[in-house]
Chains A and B, each alone.
Chain A
Amino acid sequence: MSMEAAVEMRGITKSFGTVMANDHIDITLRKGEILALLGENGSGKTTLVNILSGIYYPDEGRVFIDGRETVISSPTDAYAAGIGMIHQHFKLVDVFTAAENIVLGYNEAGRKFNLKETSERIRSIAARYGFEIDPDKKIYDMSVSEKQTVEIIKALYRGARILILDEPTAVLTPQETDKLFDIMRNMKNDGRSIIIITHKLAEVMEISDRVALLRGGKCVDVLETSMTDSVQLASLMVGRSVSLEINRPAVVGPQDRLVLSGLTYIDRDGVKRLDDVSFTARSGEILGIAGVAGSGQKELLDAVAGLIPLDSGSVTYLPHSGGTIKLNGLDPRQIRKLGISISFVPEDRLGMGLVGDMGMTDNMMLRTFDEGKGFFVRRNEPRKLADKIKDELDVATPGINFPVRRLSGGNVQKVLVGREIAASPAVLMLAYAVRGLDINTSHVIYDLLTQQKMKGTAVIYVGEDLDVLMSLCDRIVVLVGGQVSGVVDARTTSKEEIGLLMTSYEKRGDLGSERQ
């Protein structure tokens, strides 16, 4: 690593309406270093890199590439300056091969379009940095990690010397993350400079040389990673000292509450999303669900909630008072009519859990509006509930009738979780409940879940951060390709064990295709 600057951003300011997303930020990326950009949601990380990659134009401030002032007013300018961005959401054409995607839209002067030669060049790039890629494989046949590889090679193919990765590990298993980090180190040793956006402190510590902390649109500090630790980073990120510990009381008197047996679901495209899933959720414990994104987590919760029809298997509810009730085949309203309270915080908060254009009051009655007789809805109780949740969970909103779509992510989630908990559920299911939330709000949610657990609720928590799953949950079910690959004790397991379980499907999948 040299002290020479690859990128220097000086006085970068960008506002959206009244919000200052970037407020006079000065940041330097040195040649051959990995700089982590750390900050909570809404701290301005993405805006800053979007300015660098030509998506936004700053209101004020200047950018220097290799010491020369450079105007970047479009993504094309950014490529010309050697900047390549790997977005969180991949921008690939599904029906094209890797090679086709890589050259798509890239018009190299003096070169003819030649896919064979392209594939050769892709292979040589891959060999140089340790990627595994098949240039002729179609995108729709690829795993998320392979798609990410294509995105990175696309940037390298176009000669990017400065790479920006926006939360690259969110969609990866621990093993894939390790592989990515090896590649990043190889690129760095080759003299390329890398900015990685993340909010996982452990990763910052592992991969970065320096870390820049953003808070409220300002750059509050830049530190040498070797001179700091997660606790210091967390407090700098939040602005005051925080505890990263999650309180996990012991499970008291667990009872079987929800028995899933042999759940199988085939979606409209004929893909088996759930494959013989069986496990039991107990009262008074938090059951974690781990797995790479898209391993069947969504379908599992939807199936229990009665939103999708099962092809086989059963969901049995065991009330506190004894007896058994079959839930499969019932829709959410029928389940509710049986007096069974299953609360559900879905992954898509505004597209499924809440009505974005409505205020808190109207959202409170989403699952109860049809109760009681009469043609008209009653808004008295929902209004009281909205006021209560606003006070107890400290929801920042101009009023309980203000459209929830316009609240910040954390407040939206407080409204949703607040409503679902207010129903005094016997089973509480949550999908990615803290995604996009800041550390404080995340801990508010963890505390609420632990409170529910102590009240005897059976909590099912689908998570993506293994560290959190391991310190919040009591047991963890690992899903792979719609199958349960293992159930582990969260107190004694290790990241490696879960990581192995998360990938064990690939073998099984191969077996499956051989059988065909």
Chain B
Amino acid sequence: MSVSKKKHTEPLLRVVKYEGMSRSRRWLVRLIAVLASLIVSGILIVLLAGINPIKVYGTMIRASFGSSRLVWNLLRDTSTLLLLGVGLAPAFAMRFWNIGAEGQMLVGGIATAFCMKYFTGMPTFLLIIVMVLASLIAGALWGLLPGIFKAFWNTNETLFTLMMNYIAIQFTAFMVAQWEVGVGNNTVGVINPDGHEGWLPGLFTSAFNKDYGINVLLVLAVTVAMFIYLRYSKHGYEISVIGDSVNTARYAGINVKKVYIRTMVLSGAVCGLAGFLAVSGVSHSISTSTAGGRGFTAIIVAWLAKFNTFSMIAIAALLCFLDQGALEIASSCNVNTYVSKIITGVILFFLLAGEFFTMYRIKVRGKH
């Protein structure tokens, strides 16, 4: 048509929104992202550490699947992280950015440790139920406060929940100092090392820390329940409406304040339960690093899964797999831990980029 196309000032690359990509294509994009991440981090491994990337990947896989103990470790960490992600789901679905899972988990852990220390006279079964309830209530209270402030004074929940984390961490430090074993040690040590009161047993053996079947089952049950709650209950419906638009919720006659508070209580309670798992089911101790940043990692889990509790299973497992792999690379390939962290970083980066490409396309100048 046009004979001369002299000047071209159209940008070379443009980002174009692309809706309605088919499900299979979306998974293809993700697969490509994983492959690309392996290639790029492989190059980095060679450049930075000078070792064979295939060997590194092999080590990573062995770190999680090398023995049944390692598989249980993976399941244990995955279930705790998943539980936190599931705890964030209702708040996030409401567009309430609860980034206080770390603190909610810690106070749940403190409540659990308190029961373990002081209610040793109870029968094990009853004690565990009391501990579960205590962790739920502690977490719920930690969620209640920012919920109330948001509902009545519209305070920024992100800052509020974040600050609550630091309070929880300092509170834990205080409790650790109260409970420390050996003066000046500043650690609580293993609680009830002899009687094992309040220790969550294995599912297949009565021994402790052999398998984590109960942890896994408990978390799966909460995951399914949360899915049903969000999708089929009236509460879940209210949460979705508020998440879309507070104005619409008010138009529909939904009591927005009530839902904010109720949902934050629920969110905090589930995160508090993760504290129970960590203390009663895994470490039998409490310290400021009991949550260990997992409350923040859970935000990534919830976002990547787009708040779908079932997708969270895969994401949580992947993150724990990478984490366990990174530790193993550092020790057995004899590289410093930063290299292994770079590798997991690269893999995550590509996965996030892959999500971008399921929604947008890059358009090159002149091509239509």
Contacts and interface: CB of A to CB of B under 8 A. Distances in A.
Interface of A: 11, 15, 17, 57, 59-60, 62, 71, 73, 305, 307, 331-334, 336, 344, 346, 348, 350-358, 362, 365-367, 369-370, 375-377, 406
A60 B367 CA distance: 11
17 contacts: A57-B10, A60-B1, A62-B2, A73-B10, A331-B253, A332-B250, A333-B253, A353-B248, A355-B245, A356-B244, A358-B240, A366-B251, A369-B252, A370-B253, A375-B235, A376-B234, A377-B234
Contacts of B241: 355, 366
B248 A355 contact: yes
B19 A355 contact: no
A344 B240 CA distance: 21
A376 B251 contact: no
Nearest to A354: B248
B235 to A, nearest CB: 8
Interface of B: 1-2, 7, 9-11, 16-19, 232-237, 240-241, 244-245, 247-248, 250-255, 368
A377 B252 contact: no
Given A59-B368, A352-B247, A375-B234, A367 B253 contact: yes
B30 to A, nearest CB: 22
Given A57-B10, A73-B9, A15 B368 contact: yes
A353 B2 contact: no
B247 A351 contact: yes
B306 to A, nearest CB: 11
Interface hub of B16, B233, B248 (most chain A Cβ within 10 A): B248
A331 B254 CA distance: 9
A229 B100 CA distance: 65
Given A71-B7, A351-B247, A377 B253 contact: no
B251 A352 contact: yes
A62 B240 CA distance: 47
Contacts of A344: 251
B234 A369 contact: yes
Nearest to A308: B250
A352 B233 contact: no
Nearest to B363: A59
B9 A332 contact: no
B240 A355 contact: yes
B250 A307 contact: yes
Given A15-B368, A57-B10, A351-B247, A332 B19 contact: no
A344 B253 CA distance: 12
Contact of B252 (A71, A366, A376): A366
A351 B248 CA distance: 6
A369 B237 contact: yes
Contact of A358 (B1, B10, B244): B244
A307 B251 contact: yes
Contacts of A377: 232-234, 236-237
Contact of A355 (B233, B234, B244): B244
A377 B7 CA distance: 60
A71 B10 CA distance: 9
Contacts of B11: 57
A11 B1 contact: yes
A332 B251 CA distance: 7
Contacts of B18: 17
Contacts of B236: 377
A406 B237 contact: no
Contacts of B1: 11, 60
Contact of A366 (B10, B232, B248): B248
Contacts of A57: 9-11
B237 A362 contact: yes
Interface hub of A332, A333, A352 (most chain B Cβ within 10 A): A352
A68 B253 CA distance: 60
A350 B368 CA distance: 32
A24 to B, nearest CB: 10
B206 to A, nearest CB: 37
Given A73-B9, A333-B253, A344-B251, 18 more contacts: A11-B1, A17-B19, A59-B368, A62-B2, A307-B251, A331-B253, A332-B253, A333-B255, A334-B253, A352-B248, A352-B251, A354-B248, A358-B240, A358-B244, A369-B234, A369-B252, A376-B234, A377-B233
A305 B251 CA distance: 8
B15 to A, nearest CB: 13
Given A17-B18, A71-B7, A346 B232 contact: no
